[in-house]
Chain A
Amino acid sequence: MTNRKIKYRPENKAIAEVASKHGSRPESVLEVLREVQETHGGLTQELIGDVSRALRIPEERAYGIATFYTMLSLRQDPPAKTDRRSIRVCDGPVCWLKGAPLLHQLIESQLGDHWRIERNSCLGLCDRAPAALVGDQQAGPLTAEKIGQIPHGFRGAPTDYSNPLPGELRVMMAQAGKIDPDSLSSAQAHDAYRGLEKCLRSTPEATLAVVEASGLTGRGGAGFPVGRKWRFVAQANNTPKYIICNADESEPLIFKDRVLIDTNPHQILEGMVIAGYATGAHEAFIYIRGEYEHQAQRLENAIHQAEQANYLGENILGSGFSFHIHVHRGAGAYICGEETALIESLEGKRGEPRFRPPYPPTYGYLGKPTLVNNVESYAAVPSILRNGSDWYRSLSSAPTPGTKIYMILGHVCRPGLFEAPFGITLRQAIDQFGGGMLPGSNFHFALTGGAAGTIVPESLLDIPIDYASASKGVALGAGAFLVCDQSVSPVAFLRELLHFFQVESCGKCTPCRLGTFDSLEILQRLAQRQGAPGDLERLHLLSEVMKQASFCGLGQSVATPVQSALTHFAADFKGAIQTPNSSEML
């Protein structure tokens, strides 16, 4: 309305152009902001205003987004065209173990004049720790000696997973190293899209039945039966329906989706098309974390190739079934791995979780029935369709059928990733797949599952791990094991985890927003051995209320590492309380 504070500002043509490139849809605001930041060297309030006008959304919404995602940054001054590029040093717990804090300091002092050095929550490069993102390029492992070479192109090398370790059972990773991930013909020579061809010859219902019969469970961490989720979406009356692949892999310790994309992207696309066919959806999104630019491009290339070969697009292979996949990049927010927060983010909003019910299969993207599965879940689907559910169930005798991708990290000889059936023990993971503890290292504790997993003492090394073992104190989660030796204090380690949760809490609900903050404060004191009387009780109370009363899984699961650490390492925590000093006692 007419108040003279509102100044007339003509349309910004350049930004309108960027917006129209993205369809001028309000849902594309995150991508538009990223691109504007890229082309303008940063975002200002004025640019945010221009973006919101171009997309016809309120300014507060664009601003809320620009300040929510860590890869977007707001600047006061109009940015220069040639802004300094950034190096984002990972401060996840694995990199922390591998000396990232010191490395960050060194990079800052050596390169800080010409680069913008920032911290970043776990980059998903745990097998390359300590790691960093140079511009949008993944780099690691980095060492102090190599810092000087970063400006000249040093990025380290990705881990090679071409050869299975003894004892591995590879299904999803079967083609790793055998195919060129950027070539469809190479993938076709190794069974790509055979599962799709087969199911297009049968019915959606038959396809659904195979997936249900296979007993495949969601690989994101919760272990919900995939077939049942598909059934919910298939049964929903509302159309259109959407398929979403959750590739927001932002949990510390977890990098399996990245490796799956890097080794066999078509396998994932194929799983998604099959899901679309079974549920009656025709459009899909891969929501990939912004730090995985390389993988996003790889997926886009694969989608392009699959479209050319009519595995995607209109009337796939003459079946009458049409399906489209879009790659949507996140911009730095762990919470977007939570499926409803992911959907919000995909709709061009702040990545804050929605309350449930209604659940995504009835009310998801744009309020329509939506299937959200993890990358690994889709990756498991093609082989099931090719070989049948009986074959899948025969892969192991464990109660949970099929295989799982695991990650073993920390003070072991051979950190990395492997595929095996369910039910392995932590000891097996360390000795058989991790190559044993490092020389001189003794097992102290491990974090299993992911950052929101359990802290496990030596006494639990032989518990067989699956989705049910969390009740025995060992969580499977997304399948990661971070092993720490005697040099690591469980108190300081827990502080690192809380640091992560505090930074990544979206702030929507009170217990998580303020509870993670208070817990971190306490842990910072404790890690300095300056804990106050009552700190441990309060830490426990905070975790308990977060667990009971938080809005979403992020806050609820903080209690898992906190309470397991407090239980198993009570002495370490008690020792961190400052006792009244002797002079006061006198």
Chain B
Amino acid sequence: MDVKLTINNTPITATPGQTILEVARQNGITIPTLCYHKDLSPVGSCRLCVVEVEKWRGQSAACTTPISEGMVVHTESPAIIQSRRLVLELLLQNYYDAGYAMGDRPQDNEFIHWVEHYRVTAPRQAQPRFAVNSDPNPVVWVDFNKCILCTRCVRACAEVQGRFVWGVAERGHQAQIVAGAGVPMLEARCESCGACVAYCPTGALDNRMSVGLGAADRKVLTTCTYCGVGCQLDLNVKDDVPGGRVFRVTSNPNAPVNGMHLCVKGRYGYDFIHHPDRVLRPRVRRYLLQGLPRPEHDRGEWVEVDWDTALGIAAEKLRQTREQHGPDSIGVLTSAKCLNEENYLMNKFARQVIGTNSIDHCARL
């Protein structure tokens, strides 16, 4: 039960129930979109994806129009281009960019991408309508001057996170996105997962901690370090310091468990990595260097040493303990935060090297 239709004079066979947009994308035909996102319910409101269907009155939104047998679709006719350009122009003349985040999202600003694609310029300069930084949320940056009212944030909050923080208030030209009953996000029960940021196509919602820090030199897809769900995420890395630094986390739509979704810790809990408290050199207690017995109560002060010294002391003390008190006098605590490979080695360490089965970790805690 295939459906046959024509898009831009090319005959296409498709599956019933698909939209024009889905069929077009499957067949390599680009139709611009803003309010559409494959993870979210379609609303058809931005009207950027309008196409012409022969014999139909008016233009149709490709994202919400189901295909039908014999349909003849044109996606790039002059009238369509005219509509898209005007839609972008109207949005652009209300899109006030204060310039603080230049370069943050070279590929990710879908709105500017289409503005440039259709070579649209605003007939008049956009004026700020809101405070540039209007919500005190510590991790989400809010600048509704860049909002095009696509409502992806509203739907992401409802349909991905299930929290219903964002909504639309007022109407017509006054319509705007609000949190709860027009209150700051946290008061509107926001969990700060940043799903709204991940789905925002314009930068109106952004990751506060990395606004203005520019684009990543590299993005590395890896697995989150917090809970057992096993979300994957992109660590955004800048190589402006030796070895690189992680300065932002973004969603990766190909993440197998979580898709675009992350929680507040996964998306915003990354900066411990570079925290100044990090121990960066091995340390041993002074008594060990001096070959003295351990002080009675306080173990005494730390001394930074090289690896050879630290490892030498640790290995020798453990070895001596085993020799003097037997293997079961040593306990090994491995870590549920560490790699499988590391846990395997800890298990091998306890059993092979020390000869004890006293190995455990915090699974019970």
Direct contact of A and B (CB under 8 A): yes
A-binding segment of B175-183, B274-282, B345-353? B175-183
Closest 10 CB pairs of A and B: A60-B167, A507-B175, A58-B164, A514-B90, A505-B172, A63-B181, A5-B186, A59-B180, A355-B64, A549-B83
Contact present for B172 and A515 (CB under 8 Å)? no
Q: How far is the CB of A200 from chain B (nearest CB, A)?
A: 39
From the candidates B45, B86, B91, B187, name the one contacting A5 in the complex (CB within 8 A): B187
Given contacts A510-B46, A548-B83, contact A1 B191 (CB under 8 A): yes
A547 to B148, CA, bound (A): 21
Q: Which residues of B contact A342 (CB under 8 A)?
A: none
Task: Write the A534-576 contact mask toward B (1 if CB under 8 angstroms, else 0).
Answer: 0000000110110111110000100000000000000000000
| Complex: chain B residue closest to A517, CB-CB | B173
| Complex: chain B residue closest to A62, CB-CB | B181
Contact present for A545 and B44 (CB under 8 Å)? no
Given contacts A60-B166, A509-B46, A510-B91, contact A548 B180 (CB under 8 A): no
From the candidates A61, A355, A517, name the one contacting B43 in the complex (CB within 8 A): A355
Q: Does A328 contact B (CB under 8 A)?
A: no
Interface positions, chain A 455-488, Cβ under 8 Å from B, are none
Interface positions, chain A 374-389, Cβ under 8 Å from B, are none
Q: How far is the CB of A531 from chain B (nearest CB, A)?
A: 15
A549 to B31, CA, bound (A): 15
A505 to B149, CA, bound (A): 14
Contact present for B188 and A59 (CB under 8 Å)? yes
Contact present for B86 and A545 (CB under 8 Å)? yes
Q: Which residues of A contact B237 (CB under 8 A)?
A: none
A103 to B154, CA, bound (A): 42
Interface positions, chain B 188-207, Cβ under 8 Å from A, are 188-189, 191
Contact present for B47 and A551 (CB under 8 Å)? yes
Q: Does B311 contact A (CB under 8 A)?
A: no
Q: Which residues of A contact B58 (CB under 8 A)?
A: 547-550, 556
At the interface, is chain A mostly helix, strand, loop or mixed? helix
From the candidates A48, A507, A545, name the one contacting B87 in the complex (CB within 8 A): A545
Contact present for A357 and B180 (CB under 8 Å)? no
Q: Which residues of B contact A507 (CB under 8 A)?
A: 149, 168, 170-175
Contact present for A542 and B86 (CB under 8 Å)? yes
| Complex: chain B residue closest to A357, CB-CB | B66
| Residue from A61, A504, A513, A515 with most neighbouring chain B CB atoms (10 Å) | A513
Q: Does B354 contact A (CB under 8 A)?
A: no
Q: Which residues of A contact B249 (CB under 8 A)?
A: none
Task: Write the A313-330 contact mask toward B (1 if CB under 8 angstroms, else 0).
Answer: 000000000000000000
How many residues on A have C-beta within 8 angstroms of the other chain's C-beta atoms? Answer: 48
Q: Which residues of A contact B86 (CB under 8 A)?
A: 511, 515, 541-542, 545, 549
Q: Does A503 contact B (CB under 8 A)?
A: yes
| Complex: chain B residue closest to A3, CB-CB | B186
Contact present for A60 and B180 (CB under 8 Å)? yes
| Complex: chain A residue closest to B191, CB-CB | A1
Q: Which residues of B contact A516 (CB under 8 A)?
A: 172-173
| Complex: chain A residue closest to B166, CB-CB | A60
A550 to B60, CA, bound (A): 9
Given contacts A507-B175, A550-B47, contact A48 B181 (CB under 8 A): yes
Given contacts A355-B64, A511-B47, A551-B45, contact A63 B90 (CB under 8 A): no
11 residue pairs of the A-B complex, CB under 8 angstroms, read: A64-B167, A350-B171, A506-B175, A510-B48, A510-B87, A510-B90, A511-B90, A514-B94, A515-B90, A548-B58, A548-B83
Q: Which residues of B contact A510 (CB under 8 A)?
A: 45-48, 87, 90-91, 148-149
Contact present for A503 and B172 (CB under 8 Å)? yes
Contact present for A45 and B172 (CB under 8 Å)? no
Task: Write the B75-87 contact mask toward A (1 if CB under 8 angstroms, else 0).
Answer: 0000100110011
A547 to B47, CA, bound (A): 12
Contact present for B149 and A60 (CB under 8 Å)? no
Interface positions, chain B 209-250, Cβ under 8 Å from A, are none
Q: Does A85 contact B (CB under 8 A)?
A: no
Interface on B for A, CB 8 Å cutoff? 42-48, 50, 58-59, 61, 64, 66, 79, 82-83, 86-87, 90-91, 94, 148-149, 154, 158, 164-175, 178-184, 186-189, 191
| Complex: chain B residue closest to A58, CB-CB | B164
Interface on A for B, CB 8 Å cutoff? 1, 3, 5-6, 45, 48-49, 52, 58-64, 67-68, 74, 333, 350, 355, 357, 502-511, 513-518, 541-542, 544-545, 547-551, 556
A63 to B188, CA, bound (A): 11
Q: How far is the CB of A340 from chain B (nearest CB, A)?
A: 12
A276 to B219, CA, bound (A): 61
From the candidates A5, A63, A504, A548, name the one contacting B184 in the complex (CB within 8 A): A5
Q: Which residues of B contact A508 (CB under 8 A)?
A: 43, 45, 175
Contact present for A513 and B173 (CB under 8 Å)? yes
A556 to B91, CA, bound (A): 19
A467 to B59, CA, bound (A): 22
A5 to B48, CA, bound (A): 39
| Complex: chain A residue closest to B188, CB-CB | A59
| Complex: chain A residue closest to B90, CB-CB | A514
Q: Which residues of B contact A541 (CB under 8 A)?
A: 82, 86
Contact present for B169 and A63 (CB under 8 Å)? yes
Q: Which residues of B contact A62 (CB under 8 A)?
A: 181
Contact present for A502 and B172 (CB under 8 Å)? yes
From the candidates B48, B59, B172, B188, name the one contacting A513 in the complex (CB within 8 A): B172
Q: How far is the CB of B197 from chain A (nearest CB, A)?
A: 17
Q: Which residues of A contact B94 (CB under 8 A)?
A: 514
A509 to B49, CA, bound (A): 12
Contact present for A63 and B45 (CB under 8 Å)? no
From the candidates B42, B64, B179, name the one contacting A60 in the complex (CB within 8 A): B179
Given contacts A507-B172, A507-B175, A548-B59, contact A355 B44 (CB under 8 A): yes
From the candidates A6, A67, A350, A542, name the one contacting B189 in the complex (CB within 8 A): A6
| Residue from A60, A503, A510, A551 with most neighbouring chain B CB atoms (10 Å) | A60
Contact present for B171 and A549 (CB under 8 Å)? no
Q: How far is the CB of B30 from chain A (nearest CB, A)?
A: 18
A508 to B170, CA, bound (A): 11
Contact present for A505 and B169 (CB under 8 Å)? no
Contact present for A514 and B187 (CB under 8 Å)? no
A350 to B168, CA, bound (A): 9
